[in-house]
Amino acid sequence: MAWWGTLIGGTLGFVFGGPIGAMIGAALGGNFDRGLNNMGGQFDMGDQERVQAAFFTTTFSVMGHVAKADGQVSAQEIAAAKNIMAQMQLSAEQRKAAIQFFDQGKADDFPLEEILRQFKKECHGRRNLIQMFVEIQISTALADGKVDAGEKRILYTIGEILGFTRNEIDHLFNMASAQEASASDSLTLTQAYKILGVDKGSSLAEVKKAYRRLMSQHHPDKLVSKGLPDEMIQLATEKTQEIRKAYDLIKKNLK
């Protein structure tokens, strides 16, 4: 939680410019107002605490934008956001900020493209970290059991800006849908293959290769070292558990 203490203390306010800095200023105010357009300071682009603050801010604001894509925010989408906050065990102060970012994302004039371009730059293009962000957004969109055309369009846009093709976004959708089943202990073999992103005719060696790649991409410690907020480590841990469960099911079937 070191990044939060630095953020709330105002220090990071002096290094965040652009739309992310503006959102932080609007949500937290005070010490940030005078530093929004100053890109100097001790926290350089890519610094872990700075990346963690950018990830937290962007995650909840874009989550609000995706939830509003179909014109209204459903009770399930609100519950999904609250569930992520609960998993993160946010302090009252952090939870209040997360809700404010979520509400900013629902605004009609929310600058999605500018936010995402700055986010990618703040993360130094770290692919696995950015993919975790995309997976969180897809999970939010799936929270009400359906994804309408507006939500899908925005998620494709998010993917394009962050460097993901439509096929890659579709693959992440398949993974997320199957992971929902995994979490409820009703995982089927077909869903297991979707989670690992391999065909049913794949060999055990091919399945194992896909499994190891996904485990490396979602390794909690690796993601935290790249800038995932410590509070989100449980989300990454659950991903690895779902991937392992899918692998075990396929391996058992193949043997």
How do residues 83-110 score in pLDDT, each as one tens digit? 888 877 888 888 888 999 999 999 999 9
Q: How far is Cα 224 from Cα 233, in angstroms, rounded to an integer? A: 7
Q: How far apart are CA 156 and CA 135, in angstroms?
A: 12
- Considering the entire predicted model, what is its pTM? 0.85
Radius of gyration of the chain (CA): 18
Q: Show me where the domains of the chain are located.
A: 2-254
Q: Note whether 255 and 248 are within 8 A (CB).
A: no
**Tens place of pLDDT for every residue, the chain, 255 residues?**
566 666 665 555 445 678 988 888 888 765 444 444 443 444 454 478 888 889 999 999 999 999 888 777 878 888 878 888 887 788 888 888 899 999 999 999 999 999 999 999 999 889 999 999 999 999 888 877 777 788 899 999 999 999 999 999 998 988 888 877 666 667 889 989 999 999 998 999 999 999 999 999 999 889 988 888 888 888 889 889 989 999 999 999 987
Centroid of chain to Cα 41: 27
What are the tens digits of pLDDT across the range 13-51?
Answer: 445 678 988 888 888 765 444 444 443 444 454 478 888
In DSSP notation, 52-66 reads HHHHHHHHHHHHHHH
CB distance 195 to 242 below 8 Å: yes
Closest CA to 93 of 31, 8, 29: 8
